[in-house]
Copies of this chain bind each other. A is one copy, B any other.
Amino acid sequence: MAIQLQNTATDNAVIPVTSGVGSGVGYAQPSLEVLSCYSCNIKGGCLIEKLTIAHDHSYQLVKNKKVLAKGKHIFRGGDDTKAMYVVSRGSVKSYMLMEDGEEQVLNFYLPGDVFGLDAMGSHCHISSTVALENTTICKLPLSGLQNRVLGQGFLNMISDNMLRDHNLMLMLASKDADGRLASFLVDMFKRTGKQGHPVNAIKLTMTRQDIANYLGLAIETVSRTLRRFQDSGMLDVTQRKVKVYDFNCLLAIAGTQVVY
C-alpha cells in the first residue's frame, strides 16, 4: 500500500501510476490512461463518478490517477490544462500569487475534495495548486464538459465550493486571530474525521506560513495564538500534530460557523 515515489527532476510534472487494472476496452479516447479505481478509498465513494455520468452513459469517463511528490505542482496559474481533480490521498494547497510575491492561500484540499474548478469557465487555470505531501490525485479533463449532461452531484460540488469560500470570507472579514485559528482547526478536524465524526488528533500538512497566508495573519500571530491555545489546556500542539482535549471550547472560540 505504501506509495513508491521516483523523484524526478521535473517540478511541474505528474507521474502516471502504472498499477491498477486498466480496462483496455477500446474507447476512442485521447491519449489518456484509463485506470480502475480499486486503490481509491475515498470516504463516500468517488466524487468524479457522481458528477457527469448520472444521466448520460454515452460519455465515457476518462480518469487519470497520479502520484505527486511533496512540493510538486498539479498546475499553475496560466496553465491551459483545463482539468479538475479529486484528492485520493494526501493534501493539496491552492493559492494565487500577488504582484509583490506574496501568496494568498485559497484553500487546503483533503481526500475526497475536488479542486481545479477555476478553469471551468476561463481558458486556463487562474490559481496554482501544489502537493503538501506525497499525494495521489484523480484527474478529469474539463474539455468536453460543456454541453454535457451534468448531474446534481456536479451542482452540489459547485455549491459546496461556494459555501466554503463564503465561510472563509466571513471569517476573514469578521473574526480576530483567535477566531480564525479556531475556525481553521475546527474545519480541519471535521474534515479529517470519517463521515462527520471529528477525530481528536490531526497532523497538519501545511507550514505555519501557509496557515498564516490562508487566514490573513502574520506567521508570528499564528505561532503565538497556537501557544495560547495550548497554554489554556484546550489542545496540544507538537510540531504539526494537534490534539484537542476540549473541542467545545474550540467551537466556542471559533464562533459562528456556516454549516456544511
- Among A120, A147, A150, A173, max chain B CB count under 10 A is at A173
Q: Chain A 204-234, CB within 8 Å of chain B: the 1/0 string?
A: 0000000001111000000000000000000
A246 interfacial by beta-carbon distance below 8 Å:
no
Q: What does the 1/0 interface line of A148-169 toward B look like (CB < 8 Å)?
A: 1111100111111111011011
Report the separation of the CA atoms of residues A85 and B85 in the bound assembly, to the nearest whole angstrom: 29
User: Counting CB contacts under 8 A, is A192 at the interface?
Assistant: no
Which residues on B sit within 8 Å (CB–CB) of A150? 146-148, 150
- Can you list 27 residue pairs at the A/B interface with Cβ under 8 Å? A54-B147, A96-B258, A98-B170, A100-B255, A104-B169, A104-B170, A106-B166, A106-B169, A117-B158, A118-B166, A120-B156, A121-B156, A121-B157, A122-B156, A122-B159, A126-B166, A126-B258, A127-B166, A146-B152, A146-B155, A147-B151, A149-B149, A158-B158, A165-B166, A168-B169, A169-B172, A174-B216
Interface residues of A in 94-144 (CB under 8 A from B): 96, 98-100, 102, 104, 106, 117-122, 126-127
Residues on B with C-beta less than 8 A from A5 are none
In the assembly, what is the distance between CA of A27 and CA of B69, in Å? 56
The 8 A CB mask of A186-200 against B (1 = contact, 0 = none) is 000000000000000
User: A99 near B258 (CB under 8 angstroms)?
Assistant: no
Complex partner residue of A126 from B126, B151, B163, B255, CB under 8 angstroms:
B163
Q: Does A256 contact B (CB under 8 A)?
A: yes
Q: What is the bound-complex CA distance between A214 and B170, given in angstroms? A: 9
Residues of chain B lying within 8 A (CB to CB) of residue A96: 166, 170, 258
- With A96-B258, A146-B152 known to touch, is A173 a contact of B120 (CB < 8 Å)? no
A227 CA / B60 CA spacing, docked (Å): 59
B98–A256 CB distance below 8 A: yes
Determine whether A17 belongs to the interface, using a CB cutoff of 8 Å to chain B: no
A47, chain B: closest CB distance, angstroms: 13
A155–B117 Cα distance when bound, in Å, is 10
**Per-position binary interface string of chain A over residues 236-260, scored 1 when its CB falls under 8 Å from any chain B CB and 0 otherwise:** 0000000000000000000110100
